């Protein structure tokens, strides 16, 4: 006979789970001790994932892949400050073309879908342009993909950023270039 001991979930695991359940980035979650990437939730559909990111305004910090919600980046002040500084500089550089046909729009942490993944860049930019003709847009339908993606790696592993760029953001371009 095997006896199972009823072990209480460690407090930090409970507090970490609140980020997915309630959108609460709880101070007692001990995120500084978490190993990234961190599996925040499993068995989650892409629609559920998108609903949670919208409801809790968690953009660019969670990723959805194969029914798992993963945390690769934490909302720490240096990460957020860096994103703001880059966006400010880029907007300043585009100032001369504002309100023209060449205007570059800031779409923020735009959600994208491809294959069995859903990702949001820390920031994204593109000109106004028509939808794509096939169902290969950034929303899995006809929405155009961003032209410029900003990804800041502060608590995120730099190899993950390179993988994301190569295997997600530039996947179709790299495949096309290899032909």
pLDDT above 90: percentage of residues in the chain? 18
User: Confidence band (pLDDT; 50, 70, 90) for 131?
Assistant: confident
**pLDDT(44) > 90:** yes
User: Confidence band (pLDDT; 50, 70, 90) for 85?
Assistant: very high
Q: What is the mean pLDDT of residues 132-151?
A: 82
Cα separation of 112 and 60, whole Å?
11
Tokens of 104: 């570059």
**pLDDT(4) > 50:** no
The b/e string for 109-133 (b: 16+ C-beta within 10 A; e otherwise) is bbbbbbeebbbbbbbbbbeeeeeee
Domains of the chain: 11-178 (3.90.1570)
Cα separation of 82 and 154, whole Å?
9
pLDDT at 178: 62
Dump pLDDT digits (tens) for 64-79: 888 999 988 887 888 8
Helix (H, G, I), strand (E, B), or coil: what is residue 175? helix
How many residues are present in the chain? 179
Helix (H, G, I), strand (E, B), or coil: what is residue 135? coil
Strands, sheet with 123-127, edge to edge from the N-terminal-most edge strand: 104-106, 123-127, 148-150
Dump pLDDT digits (tens) for 98-119: 888 888 888 888 778 777 777 7
**Mean of all residue pLDDT scores within the chain:** 82
Whole-model pTM over 0.85: no
Paired sense of beta strands 62-65 and 68-71, if any: antiparallel
Number of CB atoms found within 10 A of residue 53's CB: 22
Cα separation of 63 and 119, whole Å?
5
């Amino acid at each position: 006979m095997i006896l199972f001991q009823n072990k209480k979930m460690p407090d930090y695991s409970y507090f970490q789970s609140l980020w997915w359940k309630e959108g609460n980035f709880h101070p007692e979650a001990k995120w500084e001790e978490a190993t990234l990437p961190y599996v925040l939730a499993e068995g989650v559909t892409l629609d559920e994932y998108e609903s949670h990111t919208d409801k809790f305004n968690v953009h660019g910090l969670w990723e959805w892949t194969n029914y798992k919600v993963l945390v690769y980046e934490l909302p720490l002040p240096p990460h957020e400050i860096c994103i703001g500084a880059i966006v400010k500089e880029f907007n300043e550089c585009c100032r001369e073309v504002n309100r023209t046909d060449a205007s570059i729009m800031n779409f923020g942490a735009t959600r994208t879908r491809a294959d069995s993944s859903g990702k949001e860049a820390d920031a994204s930019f593109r000109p106004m342009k028509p939808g794509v003709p096939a169902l290969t847009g950034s929303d899995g339908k006809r929405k155009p993909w961003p032209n410029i993606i900003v990804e800041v790696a502060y608590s995120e592993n730099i190899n993950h950023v390179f993988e994301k760029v190569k295997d997600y953001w530039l996947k179709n371009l790299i495949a096309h270039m290899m032909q």
